[in-house]
Structures are given as C-alpha cells and as structure tokens.
C-alpha cells in the first residue's frame, strides 16, 4: 500500500500577484538539491487522523507556526513518482521565512558510522510566484499550483 501525506499550500496575493510558500527538506540528502526538491509543508497520515488534521499538524511541525482558524481550500490529490499520494489544501496567510522553526528527525550520519545526528525536517522556507514555484517544487505537486491559480481566477483575485 502506498503512503499518504497531507499538506498546506500557503498563499498570499500581493498587488494581484499570487505567491506561494514552499519549504526545502532538511538533512544531508537534500543539502545540495534545489530545483525539484522544494515542496508544500506536508507529512504522513496516520490511520486514525483525518487528512485535514494531518495537514494542519504537519504545517505547524515543519514551520513552527499554527494557522489560526484557516479557510481550507481543497486542492485534491496528486501521486508522486515513488507512489506516495499527497492531498493538499490552500490557505491564505502570511509567514516570515526567517521565523522558520522546524521539528527535527534523527538519522545515522555519516552512513554506517554508528553516529546519530539530528536534522530539521525542513531547513528553509521561501515565497515564490507561480512560475518560480513550478521550477523549484516536486513536479507532481505542480497540479496544486495550477488548481490554486484556477480558484484565484474564479474568485477574481488575479488576472
């Protein structure tokens, strides 16, 4: 069975230009990767947790910020190359990337060294316009940006 994750695509509209916030995965594997590595804040769902609850919890864990009473705009699901299914919601809001406070994970590093080290789940956050976001993010997640763009056009928020 494939894994399922849920996440939040945080967005804001500045002078009718939409921006989305993406995060860069932490740890040694992702250190020198950029294009195609960025993602929405997301995480794996447990069997007992609702997808929306997972998405909000993971956003808080990966950014250090809770979203107060957000309007969740459904963006549907995508399936990534490895088979993981990701369900996402868009939330309008603001976040200062310099305030990023990610939870950490433990990993044996260097491999086979017997040394456990701690790394942040995400090491950077950044705002991008839609074109930049598509260059930076995991290609399977482009659909979330496209769906958000459609919603914002329907609502008259962007041209």
Q: Over the stretch 92-145, which tens digit does the pLDDT of each residue have? A: 999 999 999 999 999 999 999 999 999 999 999 999 999 999 999 999 999 999
The pLDDT of residue 78 is: 97
Q: Whole-model pTM?
A: 0.94
CATH 3.90.79.10 fits 4-155, yes or no: yes
Tell me the residue ranges of DSSP E strands in 3-103.
4-14, 17-25, 42-44, 73-79, 85-92
First to last CA, the chain: 41
Average pLDDT of the segment spanning 44-49: 89
pLDDT band at 159 (very low <50, low <70, confident <90, very high): confident
Alpha helix locations (H) across the chain?
A: 51-63, 130-136, 142-154
Distant-in-sequence contacts of 136-139, Cβ < 8 A, 24+ apart: 136/22, 136/34, 136/35, 136/36, 136/37, 136/38, 137/22, 137/36, 137/38, 137/39, 137/40, 138/36, 138/37, 138/38, 138/39, 138/80, 139/36
Do 18 and 129 contact (CB within 8 A), yes or no? Answer: yes
Percent of the chain with pLDDT over 90: 92
**49-64: average pLDDT:** 96
């Amino acid at each position: 069975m494939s894994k399922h994750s849920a996440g939040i695509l945080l967005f804001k509209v500045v002078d009718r230009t939409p921006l989305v916030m993406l995060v860069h995965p932490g740890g040694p594997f992702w250190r020198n990767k950029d294009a195609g590595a960025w993602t929405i804040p997301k995480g794996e769902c447990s069997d007992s947790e609702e997808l929306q609850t997972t998405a909000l919890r993971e956003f808080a864990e990966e950014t250090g910020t809770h979203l107060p009473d957000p309007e969740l705009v459904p963006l549907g699901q995508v399936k990534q190359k490895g088979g993981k299914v990701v369900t996402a919601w868009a939330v309008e809001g603001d976040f200062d990337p310099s305030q990023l406070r990610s939870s950490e994970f433990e990993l044996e590093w260097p491999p086979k060294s017997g040394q456990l080290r701690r790394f942040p789940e995400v090491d950077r956050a950044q705002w991008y316009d839609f074109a930049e976001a598509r260059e930076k993010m995991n290609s399977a997640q482009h659909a979330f940006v496209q769906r958000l763009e459609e919603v914002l056009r329907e609502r008259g928020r962007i041209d």
